[in-house]
Amino acid sequence: MGVNEQSGTNGDLLIELEDVYKIYQMGQEQVKALAGVSVSFAAGSFWAIIGPSGSGKSTMLNILGCLDRVTSGRYTLENNDVSMMNDDAVSELRLRHLGFIFQSFNLIPQLTVQRNIELPLYYLGWDAEESAARAVELARRVGLEERLGHRPMELSGGQMQRVAIARALANDPRILLADEPTGNLDSATGQQILELLRELNEQGKTIIMVTHESDIARLANKRLHMRDGLIETVEED
């Protein structure tokens, strides 16, 4: 993994996008999902990216999560120039630096809660006992230590999202990326999940959350409004 030292002086600047374009070819037409975005996310902050559908917020999150590549521009994640990396190195980056929380939880249905939580550790090469210990610890942290042997289908939505959060924390990343984390939950449960995210932020995790609800976005310290692939405004508390 190539480590870029040029922004090393700016230790708390975790993520930086410089003039990023993401262009999709849709038949004859070119669709600019991101049309020149420059923004940086500092360590320890809690961001919300808000915008209507088609505003480019999901594309933004995919790029931040190293699932998608920029068409042009530069994306730096923890001093690594992601735009220059090959697929293996990008996978490694996801494995070591990022945790994902999805709207639809994305747990693997045939695996137990414990196995789901252990998944990143498996790819990190941890052995079985260490992984199990870590899974128990994380389950306790999200209040699900009783459910380790259950399969996702046996859990409620809120519980599934807690498992997903536990899994996102397994590799102890500095950055958590959440894509509409409360989108499939009722408001009370959603509130609990947001509360959990807030706690995690207070414990030092940098959180970037995509949402289309301004109520939810209000929980974040910083809000990035997007429209038509561009950043409209940036609000800070």
Nearest to 183 by CA among 101, 75, 109: 101
Nearest to 58 by CA among 210, 223, 228, 226: 210
Considering beta carbons, is residue 72 or 110 the nearer one to another protein?
110
Work out how close the CB of 98 gets to another protein at its nearest, in angstroms, rounded to a whole number.
8
Work out how close the CB of 171 gets to another protein at its nearest, in angstroms, rounded to a whole number.
8
Considering beta carbons, is residue 175 or 219 the nearer one to another protein?
175
Work out how close the CB of 192 gets to another protein at its nearest, in angstroms, rounded to a whole number.
23
How would you write 137-157 as a 3-class SS string?
Answer: HHHHHCCCHHHCCCCHHHCCH
Work out how close the CB of 43 gets to another protein at its nearest, in angstroms, rounded to a whole number.
20
Considering beta carbons, is residue 5 or 127 the nearer one to another protein?
127
Judged by DSSP in three states, 31 sits in: strand
Residues at the site binding another protein, with contacts judged by CB under 8 A: 62, 65, 67-68, 87-88, 91-96, 98, 100, 102, 106-108, 110, 119-120, 123-128, 167, 171
Query: Measured between alpha carbons, how far is 184 from 186 in angstroms, rounded to an integer?
Result: 7
